[in-house]
Copies of this chain bind each other. A is one copy, B any other.
């Protein structure tokens, strides 16, 4: 099913180089410095329940496409807020198999095929006729020791895997993993959105949790900042090397102390003026940058997603149901306050992502090609795909160079797709480098060095792994 030369250029000169490059990285370890797997999997090491629960229900790439073509989320067993959820996993699987043709031309197809062939030895294209057979084979394998989370982690050659965790998280599973004696490296990532975005669900409660977890009074600006500092320290003690910030925009601010205190007071008491929520997030990005300068955590910013766009889906199913839609994102003016303050700090690493591809050549590559702190995150979310990755290299490299990029992020909660996603990323990098060599823009020995940088070294450096 999987051609060994897939995703390589069809033109022979570039393909020949790509094939040679790929040979040198196809078995390289996986560094996954940003993602959304569940640390309890590795702490508890229980079998995954069934093929549908493992491969379909948690993957919004899959159910959003099915939904767009008239398949109901209920029939796919997507969890509902009221807890009702009755879909039979085998039925869910059959629906997926019957509609598998919808994924033609999408990265999901590449990921799922890769998983079928490499993890389960299944080499026919999935369809409604072989659906049950596939289900049975996968289901049986999931009950074997080879398919327990830790065994898969090792088989995938994962050298480090970062999860994403709330600022007030106890990190108990991370501790449990560390104390278990198992050698897998699973790191937490400090994600404070829930205590920074005043429109986040349960914001006031989240502040209380922050106060408790830090044992700090957060009713003042100073106390709030101290609590965050303590929590960052706690994350570092538990292995974290990075923070992550998901904001609607890339806006940053640098208020005076008095203004910041007053703003926090309004946020804390819920007596916000119009614009306060966004301004507070903007100010907090700059505060977080300052703390990164202090404590060395690499900072990641993921802006530009309009969350929960589909009102009815949100009301019934809640967050993260494939209805987050990218929107135009401005960086040049937005990042200036933060960069004015910390942009030239030598030990600060600030990785910026985008969902607006037009910004790569226009804003992000020029910024990353100048500011010492800035690095470009890999193509994110919808753009984490062969064409998207290739466009990223084509539009960012000439101005930012390769060395202001940070390798690949799989950014997934679909654990089994991790090797498939890294494989796609490696192939596209090989294809891009193959073309540069075939067009004599770089020499072949440089391409061999670069593919190793892109796959391993730049990730380790940027994320301090």
Contacts and interface: CB of A to CB of B under 8 A. Distances in A.
Chain B CB within 10 Å, residue with most, of A306, A339, A357, A442: A442
B10 A438 contact: yes
A347 to B, nearest CB: 10
A356 interface: yes
Given A362-B356, A438-B10, A446 B101 contact: yes
A402 interface: yes
A70 B346 contact: yes
Contacts of A443: 125
Interface stretch (A75-83, A239-247, A266-274, A365-373): A365-373
Interface in A424-447: 435-436, 438-443, 446
Given A366-B382, A372-B67, A344 B313 contact: yes
A365 B344 contact: no
A202 interface: no
Interface in A325-378: 325-328, 330, 332-333, 336, 339-340, 343-344, 346, 355-358, 361-363, 365-372, 374
Given A398-B106, A440-B3, A326 B363 contact: yes
Given A104-B401, A110-B441, A309-B332, 18 more contacts: A6-B439, A10-B11, A64-B369, A101-B446, A103-B401, A107-B398, A309-B336, A309-B367, A322-B370, A325-B367, A326-B332, A327-B333, A328-B328, A355-B362, A361-B388, A382-B398, A386-B398, A387-B398
B8 A439 contact: yes
Nearest to A304: B362
Interface in A95-140: 101-107, 109-110, 125
16 contacts: A6-B439, A7-B441, A9-B10, A10-B14, A64-B369, A68-B404, A69-B403, A70-B346, A101-B403, A101-B446, A101-B449, A102-B401, A104-B401, A105-B401, A310-B340, A356-B362
A228 to B, nearest CB: 26
A49 B306 CA distance: 54
Q: How large is the interface on A (under 10, 10 to 19, 20 to 34, 35 or more residues)?
A: 35 or more
Contact of A68 (B3, B328, B369, B385): B369
A207 to B, nearest CB: 29
A370 B440 contact: no
A5 interface: yes
Given A310-B371, A325-B332, A370-B325, A385 B398 contact: yes
Nearest to A324: B366
Given A340-B311, A398-B382, A357 B361 contact: yes
A427 to B, nearest CB: 9
A371 B310 CA distance: 8
A68 B368 contact: yes
A268 to B, nearest CB: 29
**3 nearest A-B pairs in the assembled complex, by CB-CB distance:** A6-B440, A3-B440, A10-B438
Contacts of A151: none
Contact of A370 (B3, B6, B64): B64
Given A3-B440, A327-B332, A370-B310, A401 B365 contact: no
A45 interface: no
Nearest to A6: B440
A65 interface: yes
Contacts of A394: 387
A13 interface: yes
A40 interface: no
A406 to B, nearest CB: 13
Contacts of A101: 403, 446, 449
